[in-house]
Amino acid sequence: MKKKFFADLGEVYQLIKTKQERLHDFYTILSDQDDRDKAYFINTFLEKIGLKVDSQNQMAAITRLVSLRDDALLQVFKKAGFSEEEIIEKKEQAYLWVAKYHLQMHKELIETIEEKELLTPFYREVFRGVHEVGEVFSGWQSSWTAHIIDSVNRELYRMFNGDEEKIFEMLHEKDLFDKGHDGEKGDRSYSVLVAQEDGSFISLPYSEAFAKEVTEALLALANFKNRLLKLEDDVFGEKEAHVDYLQAIIEALAERDTSKLIPKWADVDRKWMKITAPLQIGHPLEYYEDHYKKAVALEWDLRIVNPKNSAGDVKEKIKSMYETVFQELSKVSSNAQSIYETSLKSAQKVQLYLGRPALYYGAEFCGLFSAQVVPNDEIVTKEEGKKIFAFADNVLEATRAKPFMKIQKEIFGEDFLNQSREVVFRQEEIWYEIYNITTIGHEYGHILWIDDDTESVMNTTGNFKNIEEFKATTGGLCAFFLHERPSLKEHILNDIIRRAVGLIAWKETGEVEPYYCEGLIHLNGLFETGVLKFQDSLKIDMSDEAYERIKAWYIQTYKSLATHYLQKKDASEFLYRYAQKEDKYFMPLRDDVKYFVNYYWNLHQDIGQVVDDESSKEDWLL
């Protein structure tokens, strides 16, 4: 039974790969208009939202459809002169367009699985049930965004004249955060702010603020659970675990007492941690989009494991690095030892799943993660550990499919880009090793230096996430630096530089502000150590000496950041060493970094969606 299941799983994995490849085919219309159906689909959408049909706007639309990111589309909206209200309306039109297309793709995949009778009746039902619930979440996403992002948060920003620290002061003072496990302020919310006539706010759970949508979701979840009850999991014996998990979601989603929301959703995470099959449902876990109340996003998906992939020895290197760094920092706070042990146990208990998103809905139509470490609830983590998901296959295929862009050649030059293209197109094994270090290492890096209340204590002024992404990436890098493979050194440095520069493009995309801030801190180190210099063009020093300088900077900066975490200082204190808000957006403090960031941002607005027609991608595909 298990042997046939895994053979079927491989076939399903291939079906999902083929589905993804068909999606990537949209890029071909930028260089070849022969595929009239795809060109018509993109061009009709552009006309519908009031954009002219040209290659830059096509690229932005394709990015929205294929990569599920809306930053490129946002820039062309601004370039076209649309007002803020018009942009909100057009972003919603784009969301509905993307959702409709992907929902149809998911439906066709499920129909194929059923026609071929792949997997088992139980796991075919998992696909069906996830899809039905996902359709509801996808409809709910529109009202979630309209209420939280486009209404309440804009009003808060206006009320406090853009002073976000004052917004957090008000939320703390009025006790508008959800309660944690012991009545303390929680680090996330399953409730929303609702404005009152007198200008004040109250907090309402999702079940009240979105009563219609939650009722629909509860019905879909109950139907899903009841159908699973009639079947057996003959392969993994996890029927009861799935049923208990869905019941926990039903109870958490229906909860009306805001003081019980975090404990109820913690029970969801506990039940979820018991499911270890190679098909994993993903529920609402992250809270990047809502900067203020940290309302958890409407994630819903099904993830599939590729049993052929391996993360190598990343976990052991991370643990070894953690121990080495801690030995130097063990005296920096009275509870340092306790924090260290809590994180180490969490890292040891990690369940690692390497694969792809099979189905995805709701908030994930606004961006899919390349990897994820969850749950975020540290009480649950202490009891059960965490799951790390990494979607390397998706990332590599997307990187290969995307056209070469003019801005990359303008900034980096052909030689530097060819170094990374050699790895992407011709040295797949090295590419996966780099991914393990920089991405899976990043996810393990999130776990370190954290205990039960670290985030809530360090997030008083709202910037915890804006240093946490840098901490995660640098944890993975330091694990490499302390266990180097000489053959990978130049590839790691190349990756650091491209990531740091590329993150500037997310300057005005609010939900990924933590990654933009991460990029600013990386850039500070790269300029401070002379790896990067900018006058009329970007000068990149890839010498061994430059590598040693940036390596030393990362190790020292990481120790400083780890000390900050062990002492649970407010996150803003660390971030403000490198960047501070100017108007709506963070900008670097170093003059040379700020000059470059402004240069790149202006160039991105001008040619960020222009394809590089002079460099032949076909040569790399041979």
Q: pLDDT tens across 109-119, in order?
A: 999 999 999 99
Q: How confident is the model at residue 312 (pLDDT cuts 50, 70, 90)?
A: confident
Which residues lie below 8 Å from residue 248, measured CB to CB, with a gap of 6+? 264, 267, 268, 270, 271
Q: What is the pLDDT of residues 597-613, one digit of tens each?
A: 999 999 999 999 999 98
Q: What is the pLDDT of residues 527-557, one digit of tens each?
A: 999 999 999 999 999 999 999 999 999 999 9
Element (H, E) at 280: strand 279-282
Structure tokens given for 496:
């650091």
Q: How far apart are CA 369 and CA 446, in angstroms?
A: 15
Q: How far apart are CA 591 and CA 553, in angstroms?
A: 19
Residue 33 is predicted with a pLDDT of: 63
Residues above pLDDT 90, as percent of the chain: 94
Q: Which residue has the tokens 């046939």?
A: 4
Q: How confident is the model at residue 618 (pLDDT cuts 50, 70, 90)?
A: confident
Residue 1 is predicted with a pLDDT of: 81
Q: What is the pLDDT of residues 427-442, one digit of tens each?
A: 999 999 999 999 999 9
Q: Is the pLDDT of residue 220 over 70?
A: yes
Burial 576-589 (b: 16+ CB within 10 A, else e): ebbbeeeeeebbbe
According to DSSP, the β-strands at 387-390 and 279-282 are unpaired
Mean pLDDT taken over the chain: 96
Q: How confident is the model at residue 614 (pLDDT cuts 50, 70, 90)?
A: confident
Nearest to 350 by CA among 323, 320, 369, 373: 373
Higher-confidence residue of 199 and 458: namely: 458
- Summarize the confidence of residues 261-289 as an average pLDDT: 97
Which residues lie below 8 Å from residue 182, measured CB to CB, with a gap of 6+? none
> How many residues in total does the chain contain?
622
- Summarize the confidence of residues 34-43 as an average pLDDT: 91
**Which residues are bridge partners to 374 per DSSP?**
387
Q: How far apart are CA 582 and CA 602, in angstroms?
A: 16
- 579 close to 586: Cβ distance less than 8 angstroms: yes
- Summarize the confidence of residues 268-295 as an average pLDDT: 96
Q: How far apart are CA 564 and CA 271, in angstroms?
A: 33
Residue 32 is predicted with a pLDDT of: 73
Q: Which residue has the tokens 């270890």?
A: 276
- 517 close to 586: Cβ distance less than 8 angstroms: yes
Does this model's pTM top 0.85? yes
Q: What is the pLDDT of residues 399-411, one digit of tens each?
A: 999 999 999 999 9
Q: What is the pLDDT of residues 139-185, one digit of tens each?
A: 999 999 999 999 999 999 999 999 999 999 999 999 999 999 989 99
Residue 189 is predicted with a pLDDT of: 97
174: helix, strand or coil: coil
Residue 524 is predicted with a pLDDT of: 98
**Which residues are bridge partners to 579 per DSSP?**
588
Count the helices and strands in the chain (H runs, E runs). 28, 11
| Contacts by 379-382, CB closer than 8 A, 24 or more apart | 379/181, 379/266, 379/452, 380/266, 380/269, 380/270, 380/273, 381/346, 381/447, 382/342, 382/345, 382/346, 382/452
- Summarize the confidence of residues 544-573 as an average pLDDT: 98
Q: What is the pLDDT of residues 39-77, one digit of tens each?
A: 999 999 999 999 999 999 999 999 999 999 999 999 999
CA angle 289-294-295, nearest 5°?
A: 80
- Domain regions of the chain by residue span: 1-119, 314-350+386-617
